[in-house]
């Protein structure tokens, strides 16, 4: 009779777990490993660091394709819940998952609920420019854009300050964030070029836009405005900067996303006639309610 065993991964097993769960690299992760007749069947990573609100440790499960739909994922999840009970308020899915995906179905089958929903839009550069350029012109005319504001690329920006700002907004911890940012800043090539822009106010970071090219489309992965620079100018300036970069280079399409409750971006999507191309979600499991 074949058997599946699930337990905490030993040091020698961590590389195999990381091969299944590369998203957990550079994070303070604990790994669980599932074996089927002694062979690797799957793994789970729990990032030992509370994240977002409500508080919770991010986690991801990966089961080898040949071993799926046999309860291995559920076993790994049950073990992860047991391991973190009393240590964290809950568990978050590590990455946003498409709402209609097997991953979302699995998380919900394991008792996770949809906690944050993101809308992904795609708009033509021309339409986006039609919404942003007049806004920036109006802000300039009213003197709302500080004279010392300037936009630089990520590689020219003070990386540690950018790392803290991005990590405070999205979680994941400053070390993992900094590692990801450094990798991003050195990315080159036609389809993966980094487009990230940082708005500086004097020497201070006022806003960060993380962006990249994806097969001819400019993708905005994240936008953050520093708490003391909130208002409309910094966000408008960073969008304007990416348009000024992309339009002269023939980039026709831009992709961006936001949570359900970010009215400015939802309204921008409406104003530039953007198409909604996907919906993703972050899922949460409350341990206290377990
Ligand atoms: C998602 C994943 C971890 C599921 O692992 P698994 O071992 O197949 O899951 P289980 O057999 O324990 O399934 C538990 C329940 O989840 C749901 N589920 C799992 N896979 C599903 C799928 N492909 N489609 C729909 N529902 C699914 C079902 O309700 C299932 O119960 P059932 O088989 O009794 O109907 C696996 O498909 C995988 O590794 N995918 C790639 C990585 C990933 O997407 N991870 C999820 C993010 S945490």
| Average pLDDT of the segment spanning 36-52 | 91
Which atom of ligand 1 is found nearest the CA of 95? 47
76 in the same domain as 144: no
Residue 26 domain-assigned (yes or no)? yes
Question: What string of H, E and C letters represents the secondary structure of 96-126?
Answer: CEECCCHHHHHHHHCCCEEEEEEEEEEEEHH
Least reliable range by pLDDT among 116-130, 202-216, 218-232? 218-232
Residue 61 domain-assigned (yes or no)? yes
* pLDDT tens digit sequence for 163-212: 888 888 876 666 777 777 887 777 755 556 888 999 999 889 999 999 99
180 in the same domain as 269: yes
242 in the same domain as 202: yes
124 in the same domain as 85: no
Residue 181 domain-assigned (yes or no)? yes
Ligand 1 centre to CA of 173 (Å) is 28
Residue nearest to atom 25 of ligand 1 (CA): 102
**What does the pLDDT read at residue 290?**
47
Residue 182 domain-assigned (yes or no)? yes
| Average pLDDT of the segment spanning 84-98 | 93
> Closest Cα partner for 242 from 132, 111, 115?
132
> Closest Cα partner for 61 from 49, 72, 50?
72
Residue nearest to atom 5 of ligand 1 (CA): 73
Element (H, E) at 167: helix 159-170
**What does the pLDDT read at residue 185?**
76
158 in the same domain as 44: no
Query: Contact at 8 Å (CB) between 72 and 110?
Result: no
Q: Which residues form ligand 1's pocket by a CB distance below 6 Å?
A: 60-63, 68-74, 93, 102-103, 105-107, 109
Residues with Cβ within 8 Å of residue 290, at least 6 apart in sequence: 81, 85, 111
**Angle CA(49)–CA(50)–CA(55) in degrees, nearest 5?**
165
55 in the same domain as 159: no
Which atom of ligand 1 is found nearest the CA of 44? 48
Which atom of ligand 1 is found nearest the CA of 68? 8
Rounded to whole angstroms, how far apart are CA atoms 290 and 287? 5
Rounded to whole angstroms, how far apart are CA atoms 34 and 88? 23
Rounded to whole angstroms, how far apart are CA atoms 55 and 12? 31
Residue nearest to atom 44 of ligand 1 (CA): 103
124 in the same domain as 70: no
pTM, two decimal places? 0.86
144 in the same domain as 86: no
Ligand 1 centre to CA of 118 (Å) is 22
Residue 85 domain-assigned (yes or no)? yes
- Residue 40, phi then psi, degrees to nearest 5: -60, 125
* Count: domains in the chain: 2
Ligand 1 centre to CA of 214 (Å) is 28
Tokens 């970071």 belong to: 205
Question: Containing domain of residue 155, as a range?
Answer: 119-280
Residue 286 domain-assigned (yes or no)? no
Q: Write out the DSSP string of 200-251.
A: EETTEEEEEEEEEEETTEEEEEEEEE-GGG-SSHHHHHHHHHHHHHHGGGT-
Q: What is the CATH number of the domain that holds 60?
A: 3.40.630.30
To test ligand 1's pocket by mutation, which of 23, 41, 69, 80 has the most ligand atoms within 8 angstroms of CB? Answer: 69
């Amino acid at each position: 009779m074949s058997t599946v065993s699930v337990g905490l991964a030993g040091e020698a097993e961590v590389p195999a777990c990381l091969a299944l769960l590369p998203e957990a690299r550079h994070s303070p992760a604990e790994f669980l490993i599932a074996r089927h007749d002694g062979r690797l069947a799957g793994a789970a990573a729990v990032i030992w660091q509370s994240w977002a609100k409500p508080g919770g440790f991010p986690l991801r499960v990966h089961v080898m394709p040949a071993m799926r739909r046999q309860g291995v994922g559920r076993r790994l999840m049950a073990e992860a819940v047991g391991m973190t009970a009393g240590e964290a308020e809950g568990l978050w899915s590590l990455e946003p998952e498409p709402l209609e995906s097997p991953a979302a179905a699995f998380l919900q089958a394991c008792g996770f609920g949809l906690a944050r929903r993101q809308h992904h839009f795609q708009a033509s550069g021309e339409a986006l420019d039609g919404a942003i350029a007049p806004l920036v012109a109006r802000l300039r005319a009213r003197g709302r854009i500080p004279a010392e504001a300037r936009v630089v690329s990520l590689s020219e920006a003070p990386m540690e300050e950018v790392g803290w700002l991005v990590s405070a907004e999205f979680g994941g911890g400053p070390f993992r964030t900094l590692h990801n940012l450094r990798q991003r800043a050195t990315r080159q090539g036609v389809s993966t070029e980094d487009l990230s822009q940082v708005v500086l106010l004097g020497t201070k970071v006022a806003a960060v836009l993380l962006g990249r090219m994806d097969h001819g489309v400019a993708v905005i992965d994240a936008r953050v405005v520093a708490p003391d620079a909130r208002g409309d100018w910094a966000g408008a300036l960073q969008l304007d900067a990416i348009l000024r970069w992309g339009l002269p280079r023939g980039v026709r399409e831009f992709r961006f996303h936001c949570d359900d409750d970010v009215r400015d971006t939802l309204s921008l999507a409406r104003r530039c006639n953007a198409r909604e191309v996907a919906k993703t979600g972050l899922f949460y499991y409350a341990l206290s309610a377990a």
